[in-house]
A and B are shown apart, each in its own frame.
Chain A
Amino acid sequence: MQSEVKFAGFGGQGILLSAKILAHAALEEGHEVVWIPSYGPEMRGGTAYCTVVIGDRPIGSPIIKNPQHLIAMNRPSLEKFAPTVRPGGIILINANLIPIGSGRDDVTDLAVPVNDLAAAAGNLRAANLVALGAFVARSGIVDFETLRRCVQEEFAAKPQTLPVNLAALEKGRQAAQG
């Protein structure tokens, strides 16, 4: 079994970081994992995307045309990548910036106001962790406790930011389960 999660949004929305935390959690659970960033002559505010591939055997192609799931943090990302998601996947939609759905009936749309929830958790910049928490809670792709531990590890060097980041993760979980 192999599943792929594409993270996409504006540069600066923490796309690469939230993808890295998911990859770390998958590694902690003993899975094979690859984190593949888009890299290019990007500008601030431009698009950024990143794919995490999780499998139970060595991962072949790191080039993924049709991911299982999508986390869309802005509208251009949803419009560009929603058609590529495999049937049965989850599309997390940042409802604060995206007033539309995926327009597909063979995937699950999970619309979460991640910006509002991040602000409520204490910092708008933690919107990526709200999205990650919501996605993991809904998909079960890794255990939520593993994810929480990886967030703690990621921010170990900046302990003052940890409470907000953990609160953001939790708000995401509640939104996905509510």
Chain B
Amino acid sequence: MGKILMKGNEAIGEAAIRAGCLNYFAYPITPQSEVAEYLAKRMPEVGGVFLQGESEVAVGYMLFGAAGAGERVFTTSSSPGISLMSEAISYIAAAQLPVVFVNIIRGGPGLGGILPSQGDYFQATKGGGHGDYRLLVLAPASVQETAEMVMMAFPLAEKYRNPVMILGDGLIGQMMEPVEFPDHLRTAPSDKNAWASNGMATRGSRQRNLVKSLFLDPEALNNQNLLLKSKYDRMRREEVRYETYNLDGDYRVLIVSYGTMSRVCRTAVDNLKAAGVEVGLLRPQTLFPFPLEAVREAAGRPACQAVISIEMSMGQMVEDVERAVCGIRPVHWYGKCGGDVPTPEEVMDVVRGLMAGGR
């Protein structure tokens, strides 16, 4: 199959099917409703199910139930919808079930707006729901990468028995780019009998699989949290992904940026290079686990004078960048979050200002 032109939202739907996910539960919300439109048509063609819940709260628990029964399942939504699902996300993480969530972020807080934003960085990487849980968070920057990350998300969710979130923004969902899918379909998870509550007779086992998140005994709850922590620590060791751009030369400023914003920064880096100014770019592809060591190393290069986090939010990822840089270089932030994506020219001005010591 060659390259075809697809909207990011359509590619998400197709990628989930290619990954062998035949259950999609969702509630429509701009700017990602095309996923539901696409899968309403496509799921029946492959023997799958699209079910629209009566609200995002309901969808969260439909996912919980299907995953608990050992079904590969996913949803897509946008910021306020993810807030409504966040209670269920905490329960799903606590019960150690694999579910894939896609958040095509719109402007917030509150109802905010429907244009692109990256304002849900904290919600995705630091919480959203209650308790000590983490999501594995993947941040694509193109339609092709969105499709690849969706296909990658299901095995990752099953490897860790933990929810995985794709964090995109409105532009990732709405724009069309060429995308290529592998021909093969993935098969169902092989080890689900170890945990799925799908009936002892179904799996020919006498082992009872319980889905639960209530641990009233303090020691048992602490042990449960230690178990979860060991999974998150393993993610920190094994799942960090990032891409670098122009980090070979003697760059004076290091930009850290992800998603759509990182593409704008890449153009700014190219334009500045053409003008004789070397700037490096590091693009986290996983937001949790965050590429702490890579950012620290890139910031510590002798020529590098300053680091800046450029994001479509009022300074969220910058806190992780500060954590990475550990004070060895000054860390700055630039961003906008009304829906207007900063232009390459704005980024170039900000970087030039940093070099002039103006910030």
| Residue B3, interface by CB 8 Å | yes
For A61, give its contact among B5, B142, B263 (CB under 8 Å): B263
The reply to whether A62 and B114 form a contact with Cβ atoms under 8 Å apart is no
How many residues on the A side are at the interface (Cβ–Cβ under 8 A)?
20
The reply to whether A23 and B176 form a contact with Cβ atoms under 8 Å apart is yes
- Which residues of A are found within 8 Å of B174, using beta-carbon distances? 36-37, 39
Residue of A whose beta carbon sits closest to that of B347 = A61
| Residue A43, interface by CB 8 Å | no
Residue of B whose beta carbon sits closest to that of A31 = B178
Residue of A whose beta carbon sits closest to that of B4 = A27
The reply to whether B115 and A36 form a contact with Cβ atoms under 8 Å apart is no
Q: Which residues in chain B, 132-167, are within 8 Å of chain A measured between CB atoms?
A: 142
The reply to whether A62 and B260 form a contact with Cβ atoms under 8 Å apart is yes
Q: How far is the CB of B78 from chain A (nearest CB, A)?
A: 12
Residue of B whose beta carbon sits closest to that of A24 = B5
* Cα–Cα, bound, A27→B30 (Å): 27
Q: Determine, out of B83-91, B233-241, B319-327, B338-346, the stretch whose residues face the partner at the interface.
A: B338-346
The reply to whether A27 and B178 form a contact with Cβ atoms under 8 Å apart is yes
Q: Please count the residue pairs between chain A and chain B whose beta carbons lie under 8 angstroms apart in the complex.
A: 61
- Which residues of A are found within 8 Å of B264, using beta-carbon distances? 60-63
- Which residues of A are found within 8 Å of B266, using beta-carbon distances? 60-61
Residue of A whose beta carbon sits closest to that of B341 = A63
- Which residues of A are found within 8 Å of B142, using beta-carbon distances? 58
Contact with B along A74-100 (1 / 0, CB 8 A): 000000000000000000000000000
- Which residues of A are found within 8 Å of B31, using beta-carbon distances? 39
Contact with A along B259-298 (1 / 0, CB 8 A): 0100110111010000000000000000000000000000
For A34, give its contact among B30, B170, B177, B342 (CB under 8 Å): B177
| Residue B97, interface by CB 8 Å | no
- Which residues of B are found within 8 Å of A41, using beta-carbon distances? 114
Q: How far is the CB of B342 from chain A (nearest CB, A)?
A: 8
* Cα–Cα, bound, A65→B340 (Å): 11
The reply to whether A39 and B114 form a contact with Cβ atoms under 8 Å apart is yes
Q: Which residues in chain A, 3-62, are within 8 Å of chain B measured between CB atoms?
A: 20, 23-24, 27, 32-37, 39-41, 58-62
For B114, give its contact among A34, A40, A61 (CB under 8 Å): A40
Contact with A along B91-117 (1 / 0, CB 8 A): 000000000000000000000001100
The reply to whether B5 and A27 form a contact with Cβ atoms under 8 Å apart is yes
- Which residues of A are found within 8 Å of B341, using beta-carbon distances? 63
* Cα–Cα, bound, A5→B217 (Å): 64
Residue of A whose beta carbon sits closest to that of B342 = A63
Given that A39-B31, A41-B114, A60-B267 are known contacts, is A34 also in contact with B344, CB under 8 Å in the complex? Answer: no
| Residue B175, interface by CB 8 Å | yes
Q: A39-B115, A39-B174, A62-B171 are in contact. List 9 more A-B contacts (CB 8 A).
A: A35-B177, A36-B171, A36-B174, A39-B114, A40-B115, A58-B142, A61-B267, A61-B268, A62-B263
Please list the residues of chain B having a beta carbon within 8 angstroms of any beta carbon in chain A: 3, 5, 30-31, 114-115, 142, 170-171, 174-178, 260, 263-264, 266-268, 270, 341-345
Please list the residues of chain A having a beta carbon within 8 angstroms of any beta carbon in chain B: 20, 23-24, 27, 32-37, 39-41, 58-63, 65
